[in-house]
């Protein structure tokens, strides 16, 4: 399993990223989930707001995009902290994509952030790859 930064301005890659995120959140038996539209996700990944930035990281099995991770960080405070939301295509789960996304090393220009996964309470263990938020980041 290999992770690569998402080029949010590459429409083909962005569409594959979105499609995996949609399936991970909406087609895995959790009817209560919501999901952003393609336009909303593309806008968030292409245009930083004034106070935070979202970046995409993709997990590949060969040349097939099987995991979509969104990394969020503040632009003003806690500059050594970030979070990652890993989403894995349901048929591709349990093969390491979620772990690869959750342990992504992310360069901010001023240092390197290392994510460490900590599943949210209340989620089923089998779904932790796509539903966990990560915390406990540290700069190296």
Q: Does domain 2-139 have CATH number 3.40.630.30?
A: yes
Using the structure block, give the residue that is written with the tokens 């779904």: 127
More confident residue, 128 or 40: 40
Range from 23-27, 57-61, 116-120 carrying the lowest mean pLDDT: 116-120
The answer to whether residues 130 and 28 touch, using CB atoms and an 8 Å cutoff, is yes
pLDDT bin (cut points 50, 70, 90) of residue 49 is confident
The answer to whether residues 20 and 114 touch, using CB atoms and an 8 Å cutoff, is no
pLDDT at 111: 52
* Domain spans of the chain, in order of start: 2-139
Q: What is the pLDDT of residues 96-123, one digit of tens each?
A: 999 888 887 655 544 545 444 444 433 3
pLDDT at 64 over 60: yes
What are the residues facing 114 on neighbouring strands?
Answer: 105, 138
Percent over 70 (pLDDT), the chain: 74
More confident residue, 119 or 48: 48
pLDDT at 24: 93
More confident residue, 119 or 76: 76
Cα(79)–Cα(73) distance, integer angstroms: 7
> For the chain, what is the total number of helices (H) and then of strands (E)?
4, 7
pLDDT at 40: 94
CA nearest to 105, candidates 66, 71, 78, 128:
71
Using the structure block, give the residue that is written with the tokens 């938020």: 133
pLDDT bin (cut points 50, 70, 90) of residue 128 is very low
């Amino acid at each position: 399993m290999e992770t690569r930064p998402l080029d949010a301005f590459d429409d083909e890659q962005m569409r594959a990223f979105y499609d995996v995120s949609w399936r991970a959140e909406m087609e895995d038996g959790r009817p209560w989930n919501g999901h952003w539209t393609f336009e909303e996700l593309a806008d968030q990944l292409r245009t930083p707001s004034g106070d935070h930035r979202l970046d995409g990281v993709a997990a590949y099995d060969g040349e097939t995009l099987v995991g979509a991770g969104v990394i969020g960080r503040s632009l003003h405070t806690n500059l050594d902290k970030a979070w990652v939301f890993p989403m894995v295509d349901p048929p591709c789960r349990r093969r390491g994509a979620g772990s690869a996304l959750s342990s992504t090393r992310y360069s901010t220009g001023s240092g390197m952030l290392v994510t460490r996964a900590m599943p949210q309470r209340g989620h089923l263990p089998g779904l932790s790859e796509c539903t966990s938020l990560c915390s406990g980041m540290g700069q190296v």
